[in-house]
Structure 1
Amino acid sequence: MIEVVLVDDHELVRTGFRMILAGQPGIEIVGEAADGEEGLALIRRTKPDVALVDVHMPRLTGIELTDRVRRSKLATRIVILTVVNEAPFPKRLIEAGASGYLTKGCAAEELVRAVRQVAEGRRYLSPDVAEALALGVLDGNRVSPFDALSARELDVALMLAQGRDMQNIASLLKLSAKTVATYKYRLFEKLGVDNAVALADLAHMHGMLDNRARALTG
């Protein structure tokens, strides 16, 4: 039996996923969460085979959640679901440790196929995303400035873009404020920005931040 949890702040989305997956043989929905922090706690508690995770959520983004699951050495495999399908974004998600990437507009059959494939230990990318990534590699061009960031710098960048202060970031990442300040200096330099509002604008431009999170910095 493939155990699955749903992590998405839209109840209707979770309901749709649940209706699709619950009727499939060999798949069981073992829990749901409405934000990233709840989702991480749910994954730690239930230890499902697969977690379907929205990339844009309150409290913890899909990237942050994915990275924490990886660093905690949990066996759960993450499939990211989002409306964003630009190549730079899925590339960063895969690097953060995601096993799959789907757009929310995918067909029900593709969702089921992705869950089964990821549960078997393989990666799954929707065909359009796979094609975009392949073309990006062939072109040899870095089309997103966020590709230059390390995983930890990306964590800090997203939290700053969401309007979190330094002490809060240090607490969430279990780092000293001085270390967070060093990451902030480095990522600002790499991205060519000098304040959190400019960072949020850049993150939104490259699909790293949705309008809800961006509004927090305005």
Structure 2
Amino acid sequence: MGSRDVINVVLIDDHLLVRNGYRAMLDRRPEFAVVGEAGDGEAGLALIRKLEPDIAVLDLHMPRLTGVEVTERVRRSELKTRVVIVTVAGEAPFPRRLLEAGASGYLTKACPAEEFILALQQVADGRRYLAPSIAQQLAMESVDGGGGSPFDRLTTRELEIAIRLAQGDDAQTLSRFLSISDKTISTHKSNIFAKLDIDNVVALAHLANVHGVLHLGNALETANGTRRRRRQR
């Protein structure tokens, strides 16, 4: 887009405080205009389709539709909107997969305001922007040959559920968060275990940690803690 054009932005994150922070940064810049906000992926996708902003800033984990699912649907709909994924610091599952889904930018929420603005400017100009830590992860995947993770066998929804299970969420929590039935969660969980050749959440957390799906040193401890709490009930 031309340098004199206003860059229209939609903010999609289930935390109002985060959206307010983005808006505060962008409101100070005359080249940006925040034209809409949404608190979940489904409402966010509807907003993108209605407004077709230049950029949509998406959280990775959101109720109803994840950031990856929204990104894929924007791409399939051939909308002009460019997607920038912003995720929790140190949590960057499969950046290559997210880029293949159609994301133009990938940042962590720990990034400084200057980097956030720079990323949106570059994406608006038709370029991609990756946070340095995520770019390094991509480079390491290339060095290691890539494609060796068993998590590549999972669908986008299965990957989302696998990550949240490994982080300690139970089926009831996932059902409420994703607005799908317990039975559907159970089916996804069975498919995940079958594809990964495991039979429990502790093994899932360990596998996720080993393959870099979770960049959290306490992933296994979280899963063990969840299991202990369930036994105590």
1:94 paired to 2:99: yes
SS across alignment from 1:24? coil
Contact 1:87/1:133 (8 A) holds in 2: no
How much has 1:200 moved relative to structure 2?
7.7
User: Over the residues paired in the alignment, what is the CA RMSD in angstroms?
Assistant: 3.2
Contact 1:99/1:124 (8 A) holds in 2: yes
TM-score normalized by structure 2?
Answer: 0.70
The structure 1 residue matched to 2:129, chosen from 120, 124, 131, is 124
Amino acid at match of 1:13: V
| Percent of paired sites with the same residue | 52
Cα separation, 1, equivalents of 2:182 and 2:74: 23
Contact 1:7/1:52 (8 A) holds in 2: yes
Equivalences for residues 18-37 of structure 1 within 5 A: 18-37=23-42
1:52 paired to 2:34: no
Report the counterpart of residue 11 of structure 1 in structure 2.
16
Report the counterpart of residue 168 of structure 2 in structure 1.
none
Change (3 A) 1:143 1:108: farther
Amino acid at match of 2:68: I
Change (3 A) 1:165 1:75: same
Report the counterpart of residue 113 of structure 2 in structure 1.
108
How much has 1:166 moved relative to structure 2?
9.2
How much has 1:155 moved relative to structure 2?
3.1
Contact 2:8/2:54 (8 A) holds in 1: yes
Report the counterpart of residue 66 of structure 1 in structure 2.
71
The structure 1 residue matched to 2:144, chosen from 139, 150, 162, is 139
Contact 2:161/2:189 (8 A) holds in 1: no
How much has 1:29 moved relative to structure 2?
0.4
Contact 1:88/1:147 (8 A) holds in 2: no
Report the counterpart of residue 81 of structure 1 in structure 2.
86
Q: Point out where structure 2 has 5 or more consecutive residues left out of the alignment.
A: 1-5, 166-173
Cα separation, 2, equivalents of 1:51 and 1:203: 32
Q: Point out where structure 1 has 5 or more consecutive residues left out of the alignment.
A: 170-180
How much has 1:158 moved relative to structure 2?
3.3
Report the counterpart of residue 154 of structure 1 in structure 2.
156
Deviations 1:149-185 (A, max 9, x none): 4xxx22355368644349979xxxxxxxxxxx8x998
How much has 1:188 moved relative to structure 2?
5.0
